[in-house]
Structure 1
Amino acid sequence: MELRVIGRGAFAGLIAGIIGFIFAKIFAEPVIDKAIDYESGRGDILNALNQAAGRPLEADGPEIFSRSIQSTFGIATGIIGFSIAMGALVAVAYLALQGRFAIRAQTLAWMICGFGFLGVYLLPFVKYPANPPAIGHDFTIHTRGELYLTMVAVSLILLGLTVIAAYRLTPRIGRFRAVLVSCLGFLVLYGLVVGLLPSLGDLSANVDHAGEFGFARAATETPQPITNILSTPLTVDGKTIAPGQIVYPGFDADALWKFRWYSLINQALIWLITAVIFGALMERLVGGKATESGQPSNEVPLTSSASR
């Protein structure tokens, strides 16, 4: 039984991942290309400014994967692999929760996927929204990853505590009030977490680079306009750059907004398709509804008159 359920979850994730990849290829790929082009031009300008100012140049790292591989096999592997893993985890959660609630298998599958979308993506996204590839500093990548995973863990824990609190408060104050009190408590705790975790621009590594070209202080790592931060003019390619003069624009706000919006839609699509397919497969597997104890019935409840 367990392997069949997990297999169905992974299959649902596979289908969701394929559809998510197609969506990303059509909508997000042009924005990613724009981000790559921007970062390439930005690197050239920074090297020219540093050379003119007599500062050390940043060495280019090796290109491990070509752009063509990243935009085809790489993005497909990432999205589809993530979706299969999430589908399998949804199935594991289903196995852990079945029998605890007298609800239909399809309803339980939808609830788990909704919980996962909120905890794994949407709530962490509020604090640390997605950036296109190449938009972000190499020297903070590990810290950013740790902060994001911390936000995911905290979000899942808070959601779980909210559900438990609502369940235990219901006999005392009624379902509506229990849900209301639990949600208010969640919002307070979630707000505290969002306020206490640092903004990416405030990371110590970013603060240390604030005196360099192209690293103006901000609450985000989204590239700001590059200016001549020195008090003296610089000559680059025969052109004189006055102090404070902008020599390269910041990253396009419209492109950033589109990427984040497409990322949000892509994740919602993946979780929704996983819920629809896995819920339908489990509904078919267990016969349509749960028994009074919550355990799935092997009978067809709408046509069978056999007693339980």
Structure 2
Amino acid sequence: MTKSLLWRGMLAGILAALVATMFARVIAEPQIDLAIGYEHVHAAHHADTPANGQEEELVSRATQKGAGLLTALALYGAAVGGIFALIFAYGYGRFGRIGPRSFALLLAGIAILLIVIVPGIKYPQTPPAVGQHDTVGLRTAAYFAMIALSVGGAVIAAKIRSALARSCRGIDAMLLAMAAYVAMVVLGQFLLPSVDEVPADFPATLLWHFRLASIATQLILWATIGIVFGLSAERVMIRR
């Protein structure tokens, strides 16, 4: 059954990537174009910028907005869809009497919280024009470390809840586990480096719209995975 759920999860992830790509193409990409335009105008006022900030693009914007965006999201969707299916196969039936579709939506909601919302509090999404080139490695490593901390903290919190459930009421065990998760996340955010490279004159409205579009793209991706995979998994469970 796990093998059947796995390929269904990957297909659900690819379909979700297609939907998210169409949304990002219409909503998010125009914000990126505006940010790149700001970068070019801003660089033109600095004499030490080579070619007035007009460096030759290794990959054209047309490719980035089209095939590049679709390929990246499709690979990401297939990967997270497969992982989503494996977690579903492991966790289904362990959290009370809940149906496959409801459990898939619950997992999608947890994924949004752990992978999108919590890391975004420490490291919110920024357009390409924001950030220095020599700190890309640091910012990428810090962001993935925050994701790992969020997911790892949730796993530890779940184990704490299971251990406390033997001696405490269910609601008390849940509250203590949530408090432990929040404490781990806050400590991790305090220890991880802070990154604030938004130029003082960068348009606040553009930055806000870009971040909203980025979060909305992730929400659509995960919601679609939860809905499509839930429907598919329900058929597998019924046949079983």
TM-score of the superposed pair, with normalisation by structure 1: 0.72
Distance in 2 separating the partners of 1:222 and 1:122: 20
- Residue 123 of structure 1 aligns with an amino acid whose one-letter code is V
State the Cα deviation string for residues 110-164 of structure 1 (Å, max 9, x = none): 3332232222222111100111123221111111111011101110000111122
State the Cα deviation string for residues 79-102 of structure 1 (Å, max 9, x = none): 232122111110121233345455
Superposed counterparts of 1:157-196, under 5 Å: 157-196=152-191
- Residue 78 of structure 1 aligns with an amino acid whose one-letter code is A
Superposed counterparts of 1:67-82, under 5 Å: 67-82=61-76
Larger radius of gyration: 1
Is 1:280 aligned to residue 218 of structure 2?
no
State the Cα deviation string for residues 237-290 of structure 1 (Å, max 9, x = none): xxxxxxxxxxxxx11100000110111111111111111111111111111xxx
What's the CA shift for 1:166? 1.6
Could you tell me which of 210, 216, 224 is aligned with 1:265?
A: 216
TM-score of the superposed pair, with normalisation by structure 2: 0.91
State the Cα deviation string for residues 148-189 of structure 1 (Å, max 9, x = none): 111011100001111221222123111111111111122122
| 1:7 counterpart residue number | 7
* % identical aligned pairs: 30
Distance in 2 separating the partners of 1:256 and 1:21: 20
What's the CA shift for 1:14? 1.6
Distance in 1 separating the partners of 2:178 and 2:121: 17
| 1:38 counterpart residue number | 38
Distance in 2 separating the partners of 1:58 and 1:196: 36
> Which sections of structure 2, spanning at least 5 residues, go unmatched?
none
CA RMSD of aligned residues (A): 1.8
Distance in 2 separating the partners of 1:222 and 1:77: 28
> Which sections of structure 1, spanning at least 5 residues, go unmatched?
51-56, 201-219, 225-249, 288-296, 299-308
Is 1:152 aligned to residue 147 of structure 2?
yes
| 1:291 counterpart residue number | none
Distance in 1 separating the partners of 2:100 and 2:33: 42
- Residue 46 of structure 2 aligns with an amino acid whose one-letter code is L
| 2:90 counterpart residue number | 96
- Residue 4 of structure 1 aligns with an amino acid whose one-letter code is S
| 1:222 counterpart residue number | 198
Could you tell me which of 59, 64, 67 is aligned with 1:65?
A: 59
- Residue 67 of structure 1 aligns with an amino acid whose one-letter code is R
Distance in 1 separating the partners of 2:207 and 2:63: 23
Instruction: Name the structure where helix makes up a greater proportion of residues.
Output: 2
Q: Which moved more, 1:18-27 or 1:150-159?
A: 18-27
Question: Looking at both structures, which has the greater relative contact order when contacts are Cα pairs under 8 Å and sequence separation is at least 6?
Answer: 2
State the Cα deviation string for residues 200-239 of structure 1 (Å, max 9, x = none): 1xxxxxxxxxxxxxxxxxxx11122xxxxxxxxxxxxxxx
Distance in 1 separating the partners of 2:95 and 2:177: 19
What's the CA shift for 1:21? 0.9
| 1:228 counterpart residue number | none
- Residue 129 of structure 1 aligns with an amino acid whose one-letter code is P
Q: Secondary structure at the match of 1:251?
A: coil
